[in-house]
């Protein structure tokens, strides 16, 4: 009987694969799992930001707030050959230094500067046609979640300069954080 494909298997693949994160590539590197088996798993499993937080929370090593940072960054998963992926759209990619067809992802990373450790604690898929939200809206939502729900101690918020809108900077300032 074939070994069951798990969330841990998939997460390990995503962490280790820096270039090709397709199901086909994953199946090519795992003798015990087929493309169809992985595809069925991904269709049935809901890998949500809440699930990420539940798994990451016990591993976080916090310190004094002055040593704890929050980092927001976005990336585009290149899907230039995708014609039928609903969330894939044309958007700017810093890696490509131009516009590509891809899926946008906004990440929130919690950093213990003193220990040189970090944890991905939240993420959002950039899908303005599906949820009507901009990347700035997603950062704002995640920031509120860090303060109110996750209650993580941090002093500094780091992000690319294009995030520096008056609204977002005022929100960070109202939380008593440094940007």
Q: Give residue-wise pLDDT tens across range 49-89.
A: 998 899 889 999 989 989 999 999 998 888 877 777 777 88
Q: HSE (CB half, 13 Å, CA atoms) of 154?
A: 31
Model-level pTM?
A: 0.80
State the Cα–Cα distance between residues 106 and 117, nearest whole angstrom.
Answer: 20
Residues spanned by the domain of 105: 49-174
Q: Are residues 94 and 162 in the same domain?
A: yes
Query: Which region among 38-52, 77-91, 120-134, 141-155 has the lowest average model confidence (pLDDT)?
Result: 77-91
For the chain, strand residue ranges (E) read 68-78, 89-93, 98-112, 117-126, 156-159
Look at the chain and report how many structural domains it folds into.
Answer: 2
**If pLDDT is split at 50, 70 and 90, which confidence band does 134 have?**
very high
Q: Is the pLDDT of residue 1 over 60?
A: no
State the DSSP string of 60-92.
-----GGGEEEEEEEEEEE-TT-SS-TT-EEEE
Q: Are residues 108 and 122 in the same domain?
A: yes
Looking at residue 7, its pLDDT comes to 77
State the Cα–Cα distance between residues 48 and 99, nearest whole angstrom.
Answer: 27
Residue at 179 is within a domain = no
């Amino acid at each position: 009987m074939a070994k069951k494909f798990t969330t841990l298997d998939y997460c390990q693949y995503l962490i280790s694969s820096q270039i090709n994160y397709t199901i086909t590539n994953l199946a090519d590197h795992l003798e015990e799992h087929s493309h169809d088996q992985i595809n069925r798993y991904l269709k049935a499993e809901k890998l949500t930001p809440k699930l990420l937080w539940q798994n990451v929370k016990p591993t976080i090593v916090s310190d004094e707030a002055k040593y704890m940072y929050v980092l927001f960054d976005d990336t585009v998963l290149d899907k230039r050959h995708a014609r039928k992926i609903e969330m894939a759209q044309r958007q700017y990619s810093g890696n490509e230094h131009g516009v590509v067809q891809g899926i946008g992802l906004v990440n929130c990373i919690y950093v213990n500067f003193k220990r040189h450790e970090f944890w991905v604690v939240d993420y959002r898929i950039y899908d303005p046609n599906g949820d009507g939200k901009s990347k700035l809206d997603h950062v704002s939502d995640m920031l509120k979640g860090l303060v109110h729900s996750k209650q993580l101690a941090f002093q500094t918020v780091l992000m690319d300069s294009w995030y520096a809108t008056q609204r977002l900077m005022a929100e960070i300032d109202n939380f008593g954080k440094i940007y």
